[in-house]
Amino acid sequence: KEEKQRLRKEKKQQKKNKEKNDEKTSHEGEKKKNKKKKEEQPAVPAPAPPPPAAAAVPVPASEAPAPADKPAKSKADLKAERRARQEAERASKGKKGDVGQPAPTGKLKAPPSELQPVVKRLPEHVQVDNPEVVKKLAKKLERQQIPLRSDYGYKVSLFSHLHQYSRKAPLTQQLGIPSTVIHPAIVRLGLQYSQGIVAGSNARSVALLHAFQQVIRDYTTPPNEELSRDLVNKLKPYISFLNQCRPLSASMGNAIKYIKKEISNIPSQCKEEEAKIKLLNCIERYINEKIVLAAKAIAKYSIEKISDGDVILFPPNCSFNAFEKKRKFRVIVVDSRPRLEGREALRRLVQKGISCTYVLISAVSYILPEVSKVFLGAHALLANGYVMSRVGTSQIALVAKAFNVPVLVCCETYKFCERVQTDSFVSNELDDPDDLIVTRKGKTQLEHWQKVPSLGLLNLVYDVTPPDFVDLVITDLGMIPCTSVPVVLRVKNVDQ
């Protein structure tokens, strides 16, 4: 009965949203649909709402669509609204009564409102220590017929709120063959993510977009369904699956947001073939503009900053290597265990004929006196100016600051995200702890770490660098200081 109610509500909402034919509202509508589902679910098993941050909090909507949405609610919506409002008021300060519910799992965030207070629900993957959230996720995945990945190994208590998976137990082992829910391209992609075959922010985004292109090519609209709505629904289980394989990155989140927006913008009278071609072109253009051309623009700006005779230091996640041979410089590549991604970068640089030096990150304070500039890559740029990047980046920036060496960060604008974070604990990714085990001279010290109760291995993936360590950020829009990131975000949102 609950399900029927929900479906009825959904249909009503969709009809109203379609009448508006406003980008923003349909976007919101999709979000509201998602949140409606989530809202109903907790209402069934637990009458009391889940405590932390769970108070249904209004999604900040920009001014224009928000008042327009208000009258278009059914009675059930209003009831839910009232409930949500009560919870919201109970939890924190009063807000405007928008029923919009917080984002689903993954990093989809609504555009920030300048005037309304913004309180978002936390994504699931940083609430692993909250059993109710875990239960909710399990239910959702069950509905979508995606297996739930279980944590592995002893987790350090500081990080008990994060997942820790083992690479040896990929999610695909629990899937049947053939899997009816998940497209094979997505299954392959998920496996590549979880095994680390596709790694790096740009590579993962591009692979994701290509996989979605494949999905769209193979998609056929079932009868009595709209392409714009149905395709988005089809994508949701895929996104959950990919999230289970490896938590989505900020760039992937932005890409997914873009795709969903494009899909929901397809007018209903558009024919299927046309729609598909349009979507494929959209994705192609996104990849081209935001990733490929952006990298070239960044390279162009960076070349201006490199002078002859420079010695440049960079850790391997700096993804651009479009070095032209206009300048003579030397490169020092800094690498760190356990991933040792620097060796690949080293190979590429040596092939281009650049003279290189290779050290481990513990030798950075030895090598820094001879370095003139430090280039860093970024995984994401947060709205408070912090740079989220591969673990070790903040360390290099710290030591560079101590030796007065300028630090430049290269980052495409599609990696900017509205999250804020001040330390590396609250939101991070824990990699397989077995990676830390090393065998030297036939002896493996940590071989039986699982058996020792008080021993834990911590394999962090990301860390955040404070903006006072960073001197300049080079983006495809130009060279900006770290603190201008929210300005760029705002400009982007206004454009959209």
Residues 135-154 binding other proteins (CB under 8 A) are none
3-state secondary structure at position 315: coil
Q: Are 90 and 71 in contact (CB under 8 A)?
A: no
Q: How far apart are CA 130 and CA 429, in angstroms?
A: 17
Task: Report the residue from 4, 271, 326, 440 that binds other proteins according to the rule CB under 8 A.
Answer: 440
Residues 390-419 binding other proteins (CB under 8 A) are 390-392, 394-395, 398-399, 402
Task: Report the residue from 182, 457, 470, 485 that binds other proteins according to the rule CB under 8 A.
Answer: 457
Question: Is the bond into 178 cis (omega within 30 degrees of 0)?
Answer: yes
Using CB under 8 A, which of the segments 195-203, 204-212, 239-247, 347-355 binds other proteins? 347-355
Note the helical H segments in 178-271.
184-195, 201-217, 227-245, 250-264
Report in angstroms how near the CB of residue 355 gets to other proteins at its nearest.
8
DSSP state of 289: I
Report in angstroms how near the CB of residue 85 gets to other proteins at its nearest.
37
The number of residues that bind other proteins (CB under 8 A) is 53
Q: Which CA distances in Å does 165 have to 218, 444, 455? A: 31, 22, 17
Task: Report the residue from 8, 79, 217, 347 that binds other proteins according to the rule CB under 8 A.
Answer: 347
Q: Which CA distances in Å does 116 have to 38, 59, 96, 195? A: 23, 9, 8, 42
Task: Report the residue from 5, 445, 493, 496 that binds other proteins according to the rule CB under 8 A.
Answer: 445
> Residue 219: how many CB atoms within 10 A of its CB?
18
Q: Is 360 in the site for other proteins (CB under 8 A)?
A: yes
Task: Report the residue from 271, 326, 366, 494 that binds other proteins according to the rule CB under 8 A.
Answer: 366
Report in angstroms how near the CB of residue 311 gets to other proteins at its nearest.
12
Binding mask 151-190 for other proteins (x = CB under 8 A): -----xxx--------------------------------
**Closer residue to other proteins in complex, CB, 64/452:** 452
User: Could you tell me which residues come within 8 angstroms of residue 44 by beta carbon, excluding any fewer than 6 positions away?
Assistant: 2
CA max distance for the chain: 73
Output the six-digit token pair for 365: 């304070």
Q: Which residues pair with 55 in a beta bridge?
A: none
Q: Is 425 in the site for other proteins (CB under 8 A)?
A: yes
Range 107-122 burial, b when 16+ CB lie within 10 A, else e: bbbbbbbeebebbbbb
Output the six-digit token pair for 409: 């960060």
Report in angstroms how near the CB of residue 176 gets to other proteins at its nearest.
37
Task: Report the residue from 222, 454, 494, 495 that binds other proteins according to the rule CB under 8 A.
Answer: 454
**Closer residue to other proteins in complex, CB, 22/310:** 310
Distance of alpha carbon 478 from the chain centroid = 23
Output the six-digit token pair for 18: 């379609």
Q: How far apart are CA 118 and CA 451, in angstroms?
A: 45
Task: Report the residue from 14, 25, 336, 475 that binds other proteins according to the rule CB under 8 A.
Answer: 336
**Closer residue to other proteins in complex, CB, 59/334:** 334
**Closer residue to other proteins in complex, CB, 131/338:** 338
Q: Is 458 in the site for other proteins (CB under 8 A)?
A: yes
Q: Which residues of the shown chain bind other proteins in the complex (CB under 8 A)?
A: 156-158, 335-338, 343, 346-347, 350, 355-367, 390-392, 394-395, 398-399, 402, 423-425, 436, 438, 440-441, 445-446, 449, 452-460, 463-464
